[in-house]
Amino acid sequence: MADCCGGGSDGGTRAQVREAYGRIAGGGSCGCGGGSCCGGNAGATVSGKLGYSAEELEAIPGGADLGLGCGNPGALASLKPGETVVDLGSGAGIDAFLAGKRVGPSGRVIGVDMTPAMLDRARSNLGGYRDRNGLDNVEFRLGEIENLPVADNSADIVISNCVINLSPDKSRVWREIFRVLKPGGRVSISDLALLAPLPARIRESVTALVACIGGAVSVAETLGMAKEAGLVDVSAATKAYPAEAIAEISDPLYREMTAALPPGKTFGDYVVSLSLTARKPRIKEE
Cβ-Cβ contacts under 8 Å for 200 (sequence gap 6 or more): none
Highest mean pLDDT among 88-97, 116-125, 150-159: 150-159
pLDDT at position 284 is 75
- Give the count of beta carbons closer than 10 Å to the beta carbon of residue 159: 30
Specify whether the CB–CB gap between 107 and 82 falls below 8 A: yes
Map out the domains of the chain with their CATH numbers.
10-279 (3.40.50.150)
Residues 6+ away with beta carbon under 8 Å from 246: 33, 34, 46, 49, 67, 254
Helix (H) or strand (E) holding 26: none
What is the pLDDT at residue 69? 53
What is the tens place of the pLDDT at every residue in 96-135? 999 999 999 999 999 999 988 889 999 999 999 999 899 9
Distance CA 81, CA 31 (A): 33
| Residue 228 identity | E
Predicted structure pTM score: 0.78
Q: What share of the chain is helix, strand, coil (3-state, %, to 5)?
A: 40, 20, 35
> Which ranges of the chain does DSSP label H, i.e. alpha helix?
10-25, 42-49, 54-58, 73-77, 94-103, 116-124, 126-133, 170-180, 200-203, 206-210, 219-228, 243-249, 252-260
CB 192 within 8 A of CB 241: yes
What mean pLDDT value characterizes the chain?
A: 76
Question: How much of the chain exceeds pLDDT 70, in percent?
Answer: 62
CA 186, CA 159: separation in Å to the nearest integer?
9
The angle subtended at Cα 144 by Cα 122 and Cα 257, nearest 5°, is: 80
Best mean pLDDT range from 8-12, 59-63, 139-143: 139-143
Phi, psi (5° rounding) for residue 252? -65, -30
How far apart (Å, rounded) are the C-alpha atoms in residues 5 and 214? 9
Smallest CA-to-CA distance from 22 within 142, 133, 136 is with 142
Give the three-class secondary structure for 209.
Answer: helix
d(CA 155, CA 161): 17
Q: Report the pLDDT value the prediction gives residue 278, as an integer from 0 to 100.
A: 97
